[in-house]
Structure 1
C-alpha cells in the first residue's frame, strides 16, 4: 500500500507538470499567424492582448517608414541578415513578415527576459549584454536596428564609443544601421561617423504620438578604401 501511494503521488506530480506545460506551450496559432497573434504567456510580463496588438501596429508603421527611407539605397536582395539589438517582444521582426529577410532578435541581459515570447511568435533570438562582444560566427549582418540601445548603455559601466566599434565589427561593408533614439544620442553618433567611415543617408523625426521624442538616423557603412586604391583595383579588373 505504501508503494502504491508513492506511485500515485508521482503520477499526480507528473500530470501537474504536463498540465502546466500544456497551459504555457499550447494555444499558439499556426505559422505564420503566430507572428502577430497574442501568445498565451503575455500575462507573465503584464501585457494584455490589446497592448501587443497596439504595439504591432506601431512597429508596422515604423518599419514602413524605415523602408521608405532606405528605398533609394537598397535593392530587393540587399538586406537578408538583420539584427534587432533590443527586440523586446519581437514586434520589429514580426512587422517584416512580408520581406525576404531573417532577424536575430537580441534581448538585453539586464532587461525583462522576453525571449520566450519571441520563441512563441516563431522567431529566433538570444540574450546578450551589449557591454560585451556578440558572437557573429559564421556571418556578419546587413542591417542593425538600434532602438534606444545608446540611451540604455549610458546607465552601464561601458562606453557608447565601445558599442559603436562593436556595431562596426558585426556590420558588413555597405551594410546599414537604423538608430532610433533621442536627439542628443543622434548628435553624439553623428560626431563619430567620419572616423568610422559611416555615412548618414537619412534623418527623420517621429511622426506619431508614440514617436514624438524619437529621431531616426539611417547610416550606411562605407568601404575602407582610399580613392587611389579603388582606382588601382578598377584598373586591374579592366585589364
Structure 2
C-alpha cells in the first residue's frame, strides 16, 4: 500500500486562509515584548491572537531549531538552542561545565543524605530553580522523575526550552504565588538560590509555606543559598517543625554558600496522660 506523503505547512498560505490569525513578527521590538511576557506573571499578561512560526530554515529538509540527538544521549548533548547561540550568555562550555558541576553536587548530596542515595526512597522531585536541568540530569540513573521549574523573574534567562531539548519535563513558576502541582505532593524539593532570587519580591515565609504545602510528610528538602539566608530559613523551619541542619559547601567551609538539609515531620500531639484520658 502506498501512502501519500504529508505536505509541509506553509505559514504564508496558512495566513491567507486564516486572516484573523496574524503571524507573529520577530522584529527587535517584538522580541523585547516576547521576553517581557516571560518576565511578567502570565495571568496579568494580555494575550495576543497570532501564530508563532518556527525558526526560519534555508532548506525544506532542514529541521527548524536544529536536530535533536536521540534519547538518552540527548540528555547530555549540547541542546540546539545553545549551539545555535539563541540564548544570550549561555555558551556550549557553560552547558558542559554546568552538567559536570551538578554531577559532583548530587554525589555530595548523597554522601550527606543517605536516604537520597537509597534506591526508591524518593520518587517525585521538584527542582525550584532548574536553570539548565543539570540537577535532574545528574539523577538520570535513579528510579525517579523531576519537575524542573524555571522561575519567572525579570533578570532570569528563559531556559525552559533547553530543559525540553534535553528530554526533561519542566514548567514556569512564580514562587511568590501558589504552584499548581502534579502530583498532589512531592517527595523531595530542591531549591538552589531561590530565596536570594526572590528576596525583593515576596516574603521568605510565604515561599516556605508553599514548600510545606506541596511537600509530603517525611519528605525532604535541600536548600542552597548564602549562609545568612540559610540561618533565617533555619529559624523558620524550626517553627514549622521541620528537622534541619546546615552543612558546608561541597568545595569546603570557606564558601559563603551553604546547604540546608531538612525533613518535614508529622504534626502530632503529645500522648495523653491517664488523667487527661479520663
TM-score range, shorter chain: 0.7 to 0.9
Measure the CA separation in 2 of the matches of 1:99 and 1:16: 35
Matches within 5 A, 1:1-239: 10=12, 17=56, 19=58, 22-42=62-82, 43-45=85-87, 46-71=89-114, 75-110=118-153, 111-156=156-201, 158-200=202-244, 202-208=245-251, 212-228=255-271
Measure the CA separation in 2 of the matches of 1:183 and 1:15: 44
The answer to whether the Cα contact below 8 Å between 1:82 and 1:143 also exists between their aligned partners in 2 is: yes
Given the superposition, is the C-alpha separation of residues 191 and 122 from structure 1 closer, same or farther in structure 2, using an over 3 Å criterion? same
The answer to whether the Cα contact below 8 Å between 1:176 and 1:219 also exists between their aligned partners in 2 is: yes
Measure the CA separation in 2 of the matches of 1:81 and 1:215: 24
Q: CA deviation at 1:207?
A: 3.1
Given the superposition, is the C-alpha separation of residues 148 and 189 from structure 1 closer, same or farther in structure 2, using an over 3 Å criterion? same
Q: CA deviation at 1:27?
A: 2.3
Query: Which stretches in structure 1 are left out of the alignment for 5+ residues?
Result: 1-7, 232-239
Measure the CA separation in 2 of the matches of 1:104 and 1:15: 26
Measure the CA separation in 1 of the matches of 2:122 and 2:216: 11
Measure the CA separation in 2 of the matches of 1:197 and 1:149: 21
42-51 or 129-138, which deviates more = 42-51
Instruction: Output the TM-score relative to the length of structure 1.
Output: 0.83
Counting helix residues as a fraction of each chain, which structure ranks higher? Answer: 1
Instruction: Output the TM-score relative to the length of structure 2.
Output: 0.72
Q: CA deviation at 1:190?
A: 1.0
Measure the CA separation in 2 of the matches of 1:101 and 1:147: 19
Q: CA deviation at 1:149?
A: 0.3
* Runs of 4+ displaced beyond 6 Å: 13-16
Please give the secondary structure, in 2, of the residue aligned with 1:119. helix
